C-alpha cells in the first residue's frame, strides 16, 4: 500500500492488528501506471512490483514504539501550551501595570503564584508586598 498519512490511523495498523503482513511504500519510489490513475490500477501495479521484488517497504516501528511516540508528542504539545499560557498571564499582568518580574526572579515560581492568587483574591497590593517580605 502507498503511504498516505498517519500510520496509527491507517489500514496498515488494522492489518497489522490481525496479523497480516503489509508493506507501506513511498509513492515517490513507485513509478505511476501509465494512463488513468485509479486506486484499483495502483493496487494492481503495486502487487505486480511486489511480486517482482521491486518494492522496498518503509520502516515502520512496532506498535508499542508508535504509541510511545504519540504520548511523547502529546506531552511536548502540552508543555508548549503551558508555556504559552504562562507567557499570556505575564503579558496580562504587565498590561495591567503589575510588573511582578521586578519583585521576583521567577515570574512563574511559587512566590509569584502566591502573589497572583492574593491579588486575585482582592487583597490590596500593599498587603501582598508585606507578605512577600
Of the listed ranges 43-47, 52-56, 81-85, 125-129, the least confidently predicted one is 125-129
Give the pLDDT confidence of 27-78 residue by residue, as tens digits.
777 766 666 678 788 888 888 888 998 888 888 888 899 899 999 999 999 9
From the list 80, 60, 75, the residue with the least C-alpha distance to 13 is: 60
Grid-cell match 498516505, residue found: 4
Kindly state the cell numbers that stand for 53: 521484488
Answer whether 113's CB lies under 8 Å from 120's CB.
no
Q: What DSSP designation does 27 have?
A: G
Q: What DSSP designation does 94 have?
A: H
Cα–Cα distances in angstroms (integers) from residue 7 to residues 29, 50, 75, 131, in the given order: 18, 20, 19, 55
Give the pLDDT confidence of 99-112 residue by residue, as tens digits.
888 888 888 889 88
Amino acid at each position: 500500500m502507498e503511504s498516505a498519512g498517519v500510520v496509527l490511523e491507517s489500514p496498515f495498523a488494522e492489518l497489522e492488528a490481525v496479523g497480516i503482513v503489509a508493506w507501506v511504500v513511498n509513492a515517490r519510489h513507485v513509478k505511476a501506471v501509465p494512463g488513468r490513475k485509479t486506486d484499483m490500477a495502483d493496487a494492481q501495479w503495486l502487487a505486480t512490483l511486489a511480486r517482482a521484488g521491486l518494492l522496498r517497504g518503509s520502516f515502520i516501528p512496532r506498535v508499542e514504539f508508535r504509541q510511545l511516540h504519540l504520548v511523547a508528542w502529546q506531552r511536548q504539545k502540552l508543555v508548549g501550551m503551558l508555556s504559552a499560557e504562562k507567557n499570556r498571564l505575564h503579558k496580562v499582568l504587565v498590561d495591567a501595570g503589575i510588573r511582578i518580574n521586578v519583585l521576583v526572579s521567577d515570574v512563574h515560581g511559587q512566590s509569584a503564584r502566591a502573589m497572583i492568587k492574593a491579588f486575585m483574591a482582592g487583597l490590596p497590593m500593599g498587603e501582598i508586598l508585606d507578605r512577600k517580605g
